[in-house]
Amino acid sequence: MSITLTPAARQRVRTFLLAKGDALGLRLGVKRSGCSGWSYVAEVADSTREDDTRFDEDGISVFVDAQALELLDGTEVDLERDGLNSRFVFRNPNVTAECGCGTSFTTSAEHA
């Protein structure tokens, strides 16, 4: 099981964590959304959950709950810049299809 952050993503996450002050790390997850079924959720982790798996990379803790882990295992998180805008990009080996607008995805795993 693995989740990795590129150097650019790590730097962006550090910025968020420093601004928050008391955060434990980054929480990655998924939610039912969009035309393809799932969308990514990235937020500051203020607490841990019983079913979390924790990944540590270069001083940053990444928390993923059990439901999301099967969908996100092996994902690399990068930061894409376009002029003044930036966004996280997820390179997920489990994705079998994505919607045309790029906001949701499908995997072969079945989740309710």
Per-residue confidence at 5, pLDDT binned at 50, 70, 90? Answer: very high
Sheet holding 3-5, edge to edge: 3-5, 75-82, 85-91
Predicted structure pTM score? 0.86
Is the predicted pLDDT of residue 40 greater than 50, yes or no? Answer: yes
Asked if 12 and 53 touch (Cβ cutoff 8 Å), the reply is: no
Give the chain's domains with CATH numbers.
3-107 (2.60.300.12)
The whole-angstrom separation of Cα 76 and Cα 78 is 6
Q: What is the pLDDT of residues 15-24, one digit of tens each?
A: 999 998 889 9
